[in-house]
Structure 1
Amino acid sequence: MAAANQQYYATRDPLGSGGDFTTAPEISQMFGELIGLWGADLWDRAGRPHAAWVELGPGRGTLSTDALRAAGKAGFVPPVHLVETSPVLRAAQAERLPHATWHDAIDTLPADRPLIAVANEFFDALPIRQLVKGTGGWFERLVACQDTLFLPIAGKQVPDGVIPEALRDAAAGSVIETSPASVAILRSLAQRIVAQGGALLVVDYGYDGPAVGDTLQAVRGHAYANPYEAPGEQDLTAHVDFGTLAAAAIVEGAQVAGPIGQGAFLGALGIAARAAALAKAAPDRAERITADHQRLTQAMGTLFQVLAVSSPDWPLPAGFA
């Protein structure tokens, strides 16, 4: 999964009508603007420190562009740091954010100031492991290649001790997913935030786990595809286990808010008022703005979850009351 997605993202811009999928920032400017104001509000209540803006997996740079435009009107004009490995997407980001600093990994992010970081649809593309319940215990699912055909197969049996106790007696055929890469990145960022100050906002489709379920999927041309076909030519994702991410942050001493649904989060930040203002300013686009508002808060409102990880020395972030 890691190798396939590295090839996929390095060789194309997957976003928009001509790509494979569309993300919330590409749907409407309201999404990025509200996240920018979320960050500006937190920065202001923390005493306006010299903080950096960070986005993980920033796509075309649309979210950060909209966010920083809105944040700037509130006085928050931070240096911008983008964690991105794709040369194609870096080029698109540079058109919108020419003064940004790029990083291949979170290790090189600034260590001398608070970080206000955003990860929108980032964790879902990180590699997962799947454990499958067989008749005699749990087995790791592996991928085999026969000629040019990729197939899932059962690997070695794993000890019951690695399975969450509440899930050990699941029915045969049940699948549990873990993402060690996601936990490692979350823990590293939480350590930074506890030591330096700041917050991380995670927005993604997922669930409050751990739980049973096979969520591995592929998307190509805005439709679902077989994840074992054409590796490197389609987007591979899995739903994010927000419960495990929250637990990882708490272990590092961070404070956690959420997860809550994207619809409730955006509603608490005032998306209805922003939609009304945009519709009033552009009556010819009012119908489209209303549709975008409903898509962000209703169609995506419960599937997408929002989690905030922040320094225990900082105020609680807005949007989670």
Structure 2
Amino acid sequence: MLLRKVLLRGASASRLLISNKSPPASLLPLASGCTRFFSSSSQSEGPNDGFVAGQEGGDEQPPATITVDRSGLYHPPDHSHEPTTESELVKHLKGIIKFRGGPISVAEYMEEVLTNPKFGFYINRDVFGAEGDFITSPEVSQMFGEMIGVWVMCLWEQMGQPKKVNLVELGPGRGTLMADLLRGTAKFKSFTDSMHIHMVECSPVLQKLQHQNLKCEKVGNADENGEKSSVTSITGSPVTWYSSLEQVPSGSPTIILAHEFYDALPIHQFQRSSRGWSEKMVDVGEDSKLRFVLSPQPTPATLYLMKRCKWATEKEVESLKQIEICPKAIDLTHTIAQRISSDGGGALIIDYGLNGVISDSLQAIRKHKFVSILDDPGSADLSAYVDFPSLKHTAEEASDNVAVHGPLTQSQLLGLLGINFRVEALLENCTDEQADSLRTGYWRLVGEGEAPFWEGPDELAPVGMGTRYLAMAIVNKKQGAPVPFQ
């Protein structure tokens, strides 16, 4: 009854899809869903002639250092008065490589490109929405955040409606998902009164946007740093910002949301060579440009590679020429599982990925278009498919008190949570223009491929991505299977 009350309540359709052109007024049946509107995975740059072959895989422990033959590499002079178009981030990357005396891993490259404190892609700009580099599901339609609110509220009920719950969002973007979640549940006072919101965000620019979109106000006395507490005027819930999950206070039941967070975590790439698996690295070539090479020796990440291969079947591994692993995703999932085990609650992870081993998915996106991974670092988003089986194995090994459910497709998740009821309710109270936007946003969230009802220019056709985005839940076993994973 509560679920249907949430779905059918009379809310406005004030914040809808960002759309360049609206489709005809015909609503199609439920299909499958969306977030970043691009083709599957782009191929990262392949090995060049400068690659150094790797070493055969095995059970031996890898050394703690990487050695590479750099005799043929060009070493640029320390000082030059020649004009240069290199960005500060490129200079920084080359400085790291020179200081190390060897190449850096793809993971280190990703981390610098995305989150370097001065030059990182996410740090000093708003990269979301039609004017940014990509569009995420919360930016497509208010219905996405509302459906996630239904999931959170249902889990809260299964938890026994505790009086205090830590609601944590990892990588909240502009704060759109959380704002829509709170607006959608604002009438359920006992629920919103229990929520203490924690935003895990490292970008000062995005923190400011989140503060604005959550309509936060400063209240109470200043702390020792001169900061007052923030409260969202949407529900009156307290809001706090952190740079990592570990900083979020423990001891209370916790619900964690990770939407399009895992895909930006740095990955390591390995390539099969004549001597086994070799890690793909980033180095400076003879032309002073960044290029890919292979490490001739096992690297520290080889330990994670061995673990991932243990979780896969022999047939899966034998068929691969390349493989991606994400140690940070494994470590983060371990932390989440332990937090849920000790404090109770659950986590919902939604991202684009595969229910299997990931081969070669790393891609760079600038202004909604694919570009080369090494092209002008810091000006494009880097992301890779999420390896959902590795998350499942990690959580299950972290604690016997947690259960993993899914993955489901985004289409299945939103459909089972009741997005059809919600769109029907919204269509009863909106203008024709809003209705067209609702239908387009609905398709992008739960459709597959280009919308068949579209009659505008092909390049503007709404693309559904529901089968490309997967959802997985990790919950404390005491609470039973969460909605809608039963």
Tell me whether 1:260 sits opposite 2:405 in the alignment.
no
Identical residues among aligned pairs (%): 38
Q: 1:148 Cα shift?
A: 4.8
The corresponding residue for 1:3 is 112
Q: Residues 136, 19 of structure 1: CA spacing in aligned structure 2 closer, same or farther, 3 A cutoff?
A: same
The corresponding residue for 2:249 is 110
The corresponding residue for 2:260 is 121
The corresponding residue for 2:131 is 18
The corresponding residue for 2:272 is 133
> In the TM superposition, what are the counterparts of 1:225-264 in structure 2 within 5 Å?
225-253=371-399, 254-264=402-412
> In the TM superposition, what are the counterparts of 1:155-304 in structure 2 within 5 Å?
155-158=295-298, 161=306, 163-164=309-310, 165-170=314-319, 174-211=321-358, 213-253=359-399, 254-284=402-432, 285-298=434-447, 299-304=464-469
Q: Output the CA distance in 2 between the equivalents of 1:235 and 1:139.
A: 25
The corresponding residue for 1:85 is 202
Q: Output the CA distance in 1 between the equivalents of 2:481 and 2:318.
A: 38
Q: Output the CA distance in 2 between the equivalents of 1:306 and 1:115.
A: 18
Q: 1:74 Cα shift?
A: 3.2
- Number of residue pairs the alignment of both structures matches: 318
How large is the RMSD of aligned CA atoms in angstroms? 1.6
Q: Output the CA distance in 2 between the equivalents of 1:153 and 1:68.
A: 48
Task: Tell me if structure 2 keeps the 8 A contact 1:120–1:203.
Answer: yes
Q: Residues 148, 229 of structure 1: CA spacing in aligned structure 2 closer, same or farther, 3 A cutoff?
A: farther
Post-superposition Cα deviations, 1:187-214, rounded to whole Å, max 9, x if no partner, equal 1011001100111100000001224x20
Q: Output the CA distance in 1 between the equivalents of 2:412 and 2:150.
A: 16
> Does 54-63 or 128-137 show the bigger shift?
128-137
Q: Output the CA distance in 1 between the equivalents of 2:368 and 2:425.
A: 31
The corresponding residue for 2:181 is 67
Q: Output the CA distance in 1 between the equivalents of 2:437 and 2:390.
A: 37
Partner AA of 1:291 in structure 2: T
Q: 1:319 Cα shift?
A: 1.8
Over 3 Å off, 4+ runs = 157-168
Q: 1:11 Cα shift?
A: 1.4
Q: 1:276 Cα shift?
A: 1.0
> Does 121-130 or 105-114 show the bigger shift?
105-114
Tell me whether 1:45 sits opposite 2:158 in the alignment.
yes
The corresponding residue for 1:311 is 476
Q: Residues 14, 268 of structure 1: CA spacing in aligned structure 2 closer, same or farther, 3 A cutoff?
A: same
Q: Residues 236, 315 of structure 1: CA spacing in aligned structure 2 closer, same or farther, 3 A cutoff?
A: same
Partner AA of 2:291 in structure 1: L
Q: 1:303 Cα shift?
A: 0.2
Post-superposition Cα deviations, 1:207-258, rounded to whole Å, max 9, x if no partner, equal 01224x2000000001111111111111000000011001111112211110
Q: Output the CA distance in 1 between the equivalents of 2:417 and 2:296.
A: 48
Q: Output the CA distance in 1 between the equivalents of 2:317 and 2:473.
A: 30
Q: Output the CA distance in 2 between the equivalents of 1:108 and 1:38.
A: 25
The corresponding residue for 1:31 is 144
Partner AA of 1:194 in structure 2: S
Q: 1:161 Cα shift?
A: 4.9
Post-superposition Cα deviations, 1:119-151, rounded to whole Å, max 9, x if no partner, equal 000000000001101123111101112355221
Task: Tell me if structure 2 keeps the 8 A contact 1:46–1:315.
Answer: no
Post-superposition Cα deviations, 1:150-171, rounded to whole Å, max 9, x if no partner, equal 2111113547956444444336
Q: Residues 168, 116 of structure 1: CA spacing in aligned structure 2 closer, same or farther, 3 A cutoff?
A: closer
Q: Output the CA distance in 2 between the equivalents of 1:148 and 1:30.
A: 49
Q: Output the CA distance in 2 between the equivalents of 1:226 and 1:243.
A: 28
Post-superposition Cα deviations, 1:53-97, rounded to whole Å, max 9, x if no partner, equal 110000000000111222333342111100000011001001123
Q: Output the CA distance in 1 between the equivalents of 2:315 and 2:292.
A: 26
SS in 2 for 1:60: coil
Q: Output the CA distance in 1 between the equivalents of 2:277 and 2:152.
A: 43
Instruction: In structure 2, list runs of 5 or more residues that go unmatched.
Output: 1-109, 217-230, 232-238, 448-463
Task: Tell me if structure 2 keeps the 8 A contact 1:40–1:74.
Answer: no
Q: TM-score, normalised by structure 1?
A: 0.95
SS in 1 for 2:423: helix
> Does 290-299 or 67-76 show the bigger shift?
67-76
Partner AA of 1:156 in structure 2: P
SS in 1 for 2:167: strand
Q: TM-score, normalised by structure 2?
A: 0.63
Partner AA of 2:123 in structure 1: A
